[in-house]
Structure 1
Amino acid sequence: MTSTITFIKKLNRKRIYITRKVKNYFYITYYKILSKNKRSYPIEELSKCTTIAILLPHKGIGDLIVTSGLIKELRQKSYKVYCLINPNLQFLFDELITADGIEILDKKYNFRQIVSKHLYFDIIMDPADPDKNLYQRIGYITAIKHKYAIGFNQNIASSFFDINEIRNELHTHYSDRLRYFAKTLNININNFKYDLYFSNSTINKIKLFINNKLNNKKFIVFNPVASDRNRSLSLLTIRETLLFLQEQTNKIIITYNVNDTNLIKDFPEIIFNPFSSLIDCIALLKHASLVISTDTCFVHAANFFNSKMICIYNNRLDCNKYCNNDYWGPNYKNAIQIFSKENLHTETGDNLQMFPSSIIKNTIIEYKVLED
């Protein structure tokens, strides 16, 4: 019975893979026909460009936090920078990330709707590798008027890119790709730093919380839950980790994204989910003595604050190619990175539901992170 289910799952994965390949081929061929009369501009005129659109559909919050470093550098060189995003990330540009403008790309992908907006940018940059959503990004590039389209490692659709950078990035960080794009524009970024901002109301709210709720005591932020179950710790591991932290420190423990009623009831001294706003949760990290997280959103936010951190990764492959441990790693010295042990080397990675609390405990003891 088990072997039959495994076979069916394998067959279904193969069906999905073939369907995606066919869909990509069909749409890309169609877009080649639509864009065959597109005017070509000499590379020498690239330096005269003033507006840049960064194509960011299907990206997560952590991706945008990393990209904020590129946006800052481009704007400092007097470029007008626009981000093309799905609607679920629009709130990040109300507070947290600064750009000259955003354009909302409907997740349902309406090609004609994009055409009807009559958008124009000198440069469109697609930072992603070819993947299952390539046909959508090629569709956006076809629908938006521009002089130059710049992409990375594009093979089957290289004709859509005026500059197609081929890079070997198996053991690099995603920010290196963004730095390389900046170099194409003769901008050298020696020290890539993320760029987040917080409103006065958020800053004051955090100060009041620390003063009134925490009585100015030191605290730890523990975020054991990510955007998918495979990268989230089990309730047992969460419970054991909270017990250990309580035994090892007198600091206040604040836990994000845990809604289990039994856990909340069993740990009355721990503060669970103090804010409904993600922006507030991120802003609080600045003042934490230690951050422990499985979610790269908080990992990259902690990088911005240079917070002391333990982050947990599950060896998944980005774009079925890049080791996520490196490609989306913490990328700063004050972070300790720990890993699951299965090393399945898949797009979903190892299941952190199986991750034992002992690894977290041993890391805390070995690196003495509770001392300051």
Structure 2
Amino acid sequence: MFRSSSEFDKQLEKATSHLLLEPDWHSIIQICDIICQGDCQPKYAISAIKKRFYNQNPYVALYALQVMESVVKNCGSPIHEEVASKAFMDELREMVHKTTNDKDTLNILKAEGYTFPTLRESDAMFVADRAPNWSDGEDCHRCRVQFSVLVRKHHCRACGQVFCGKCTPKSSTLPKFGIEKEVRVCEDCFEKHNPDGRSGKEETDAGKSSSSASGEAAKAADKTRKEEELKLQEQEELELALALSRSEAEAKSNKDVLGKSHSPRTYSSPVKENPSAAKVTASEIDDPELARYLNRSYWEQKQQQEKETPNNHSSHHRERTDSSSKIAVMNDAYPSAPITTAAVVHS
């Protein structure tokens, strides 16, 4: 009760705020729904709206009158009984007789030539659907079982008739009467307001399950897409690594070719074959010990030949130096007949 009253006060504060430029119909409809659902007593609602009539801000009073009009048109006889009381009517009469500015303004505008549409009673008539009042009885309206201590009495919010617990096992929302929460209804009214056989709660659960299923499908699709992207990325990285290794191998081979082409040529004297090694038969070569000794002697001979080669080059260089010095001495002794180096060399 207190929670509903606080919700009503909150919506009334929003609907009659002095900051509004036009009526807040959403809050006004919420106020009507709260009263129709029985969450707020009509007497409390009328007294709270009536307090807004005497606010110092004229806009608050104007919006309070707008809320009162909507409540009277949409909330049925409980509100009509509160509004039609003598005390409330006297207060409204005092408010109307307090000033005549509206009539004076209307007469002035008519005198200035402005025309106003005539008021038609058919435009002021309205029809509001409201939940019926509860009827009373000593037995169930459907199965005719007598109510007792064990058989409790229940009312259908849609038709207002009295039923037992077995005849009112279901609940449903009643948007036609402004009731948006689940309330107890009989089976006939449930089938009338829910042709598909599902209540508002079941529809909500079905919507949640469908949304959860769609969410799971979306998650599965995202997971599959991420896996495909990961596989594609791994394949691209592998291809890139192969291309890099291939390019490095090609660059290395090109470098080796260029190094071989620019390397200086070296000449070495032919190696003389060892006659003793040539005379070795096939049976002797098959012996591993003999093959090892033969190979050792071969490399020792090669090493000795390499040592002898630089000695030959040094002796040849000394001979050329001695011959050049002798030629220089002979030129000094016989200047008219010089002796060339080429002649000595070729001789």
| Bin of the TM-score, shorter chain as denominator length | under 0.3
Larger Rg: 2
Task: Name the structure where helix makes up a greater proportion of residues.
Answer: 2
Q: Choose between structure 1 and 2: higher strand proportion.
A: 1
Given the two structures, how large is their TM-score scaled by the length of structure 2? 0.21
